[in-house]
Amino acid sequence: MFGIAFGQRIRPAVSAWRGYSSAAKEITVREALNTALDEEMSADPKVFLMGEEVGEYQGAYKISKGLLDKYGPERVLDTPITEAGFTGIGVGAAYHGLKPVIEFMTFNFSMQISYAKIIFVWDFRWVLLKLLLVALQFWLLMQAIDHIINSAAKSNYMSSGQISVPIVFRGPNGAAAGVGAQHSHCYASWYASCPGLKVLAPYSSEDARGLLKAAIRDPDPVVFLENELLYGETFPVSAEVLDSSFCVPIGKAKIEREGKDVTITAFSKMVGYALKVPITDVVEFGWRLFVSQAAEILAKEGISAEVINLRSIRPLDRDTINASVRKTNRLVTVEEGFPQHGVGAEICASVVEESFGYLDAPVERIAGADVPMPYAANLERLAVPQVEDIVRAAKRACYRSVPMAAAA
């Protein structure tokens, strides 16, 4: 009964994968990352993986599943909970010609230490102890960032090109679900502001596999920002993507869907939001499904949207973005990070500098709320961009709805 009713209400999402031609099979983002690591470690003995629980536990998110058994503890290294320590060790190894892949359990909290057990022991003076440990955590955070920014990112320039630092820092970034303010920070704009780093943010299995291979092969330090909620997502991939030689060029965006009325830029999980909208007429079954492209919903109102998957945050593919805006004459940027000094702000600046005369409407920026991430589920949803926000912004850019200023 459910299948019949369900089938009558929802159209097959065939067009949702229009950007993935000649699909051979479907794999999860987790599998894409795992196979990319496996193939690069097999191809180059200088590549090794290091981080918390990457070996015996096979990764906190099972990205490194099977790698310890295949390559041994010398190339898959479990570390203590000391990100400042193994980040520095990785940078030093890269100085000497090795190619470390450093896994952070999360970019949000991975460079801090846990004080839960200490507070349990010293419960009667927990307030003072917690304040001291927060200060220590901040110190360790700055120590780990010191290795990434002051050592990895700047050494090539400071050595006049004599020192290369081929290292990858990878792990989940941004908000997950119900993990609070300290586990929900998006670091894309942080690292993208630093010369010497390359910053990548995959969305699909194709992105994850191709970009990770490119990152490992690159002679410069790469910050590889994954998303926890995408690990289990399945995407169709072609035979070309599954080939061991496959690689996605760093600094090149992908047009996921072509359009003529408005350009929508996004990266990581937000690409899915830009491409898909929720079906609300099955709410009685308790489901919330994403099966139809947002661009198709907009098309029903006469709006043809072009969706750009940035893939690379630094270097940013300004040419593709500006070429699209010059065609559509409108722009909506989408990101889950904070609005001030964000990736969307940089895209807006680029378009104003290079394509201002082509704009027929003000640029619309969709970003996370300018507050620490709430823990409550209802507030959390309000703090991150939703599909309906993107649809409303696209309609405002095309003058199909009342502007926010006029409605205020």
Residues with a catalytic annotation lie at 83, 183
Residue 153's nearest CA partner among 101, 87, 197, 219 is 197
- What's the length of the chain? 408
- What string of DSSP letters covers 204-251? SHHHHHHHHHHHHH-SS-EEEEE-GGGTT-EEEEEHHHHSTT--PPTT
**3-class SS of residue 367:** coil
Q: How far is 96 from 371, CA to CA, in rounded Å?
A: 42
Residue 202's nearest CA partner among 193, 191, 190, 211 is 211
- Reduce the secondary structure of 140-185 to three states and give it as a string: HHHHHHHHHHHHHHCHHHHCCCCCCCCCEEEEECCCCCCCCHHHCC
Q: How far is 230 from 30, CA to CA, in rounded Å?
A: 8
For the chain, state the CA radius of gyration.
22
Q: How far is 198 from 313, CA to CA, in rounded Å?
A: 8
Q: How far is 408 from 402, CA to CA, in rounded Å?
A: 10
Compute the Cα dihedral for 350, 384, 52, 43 and give only its sign.
negative
Q: Please answer whether residues 333 and 307 qualify as being in contact, where contact means their C-beta atoms are separated by less than 8 angstroms.
A: no
- Cross-strand partners of 169: 102, 223
